[in-house]
Amino acid sequence: MRSKALSQLREHMLQGRVDPDIVDLLDRINSSSDYYTTSSCSGRIQLAACEHPGEKGRLRVLAKWHRPINVEELVLALSASQEPSIWFSVHPPILHIVARDLEAARRLLVHARNSGFKHSGIQGLGRRVVVEVMSMERLETPLRLRGVDLLEPWAYPMLVDAANRLLVRSKRRLEKLKELF
């Protein structure tokens, strides 16, 4: 399973499907004999068409950025869509890491929490022990619901600033975690 996961990661890297700012951390984790990664995201800002956030089957991503954005990018993405309901969100970094055993999982959780990933925990105890590493920086706000714009354009700079600050803060936690590996 480890070799398959690492092979898939290399393939995704070649296809440009891995966030560049998390590659060094993934390399460090995967160089350990105690751990390997199965999925990751370095954190993102997202604009999505959906009635409620979390609607996996019906959510349609209109734009996503794995970096801070500017107001013009938000306005452009928002104005390009006629969707009746649009949500703006910040998602924290998330990693799924397979640990060799429960003791290795426990050590990883201690490191993750000490790096600020307070929402981390053991996801699975089946054939393999899977640890989900996630921080708490999250923002979800509707910009349009049922065809009604809820936020005046003069407020977009404040929203973008708050989103960028959350994203940058969560990405700093990745650096702390990398130091522990």
Report helix, strand or coil for 84. Answer: coil
How many Cβ atoms from other residues are within 10 Å of residue 129's Cβ?
21
Confidence class for position 11, pLDDT limits 50, 70, 90: confident
CA pair distance 162, 51, nearest whole angstrom: 23
How buried is 91 (Cβ within 10 angstroms: 0-12 exposed, 13-18 middle, 19+ buried)?
Answer: buried
- From the list 62, 59, 41, the residue with the least C-alpha distance to 50 is 59
Domains of the chain: total? 1
Residue type, 116: G
Range of the domain at 12: 2-180
> What are the pLDDT digits (tens) for 20-71?
899 999 999 999 999 999 999 999 999 999 988 877 778 999 999 999 999 9
Specify the pTM: 0.89
Q: Is the dihedral of CA 87, 92, 98, 102 positive or negative?
A: negative
CA dihedral angle for residue 67, residue 171, residue 26, residue 179, rounded to 10 degrees: 140
State the CATH number of the domain containing residue 174.
3.30.1960.10
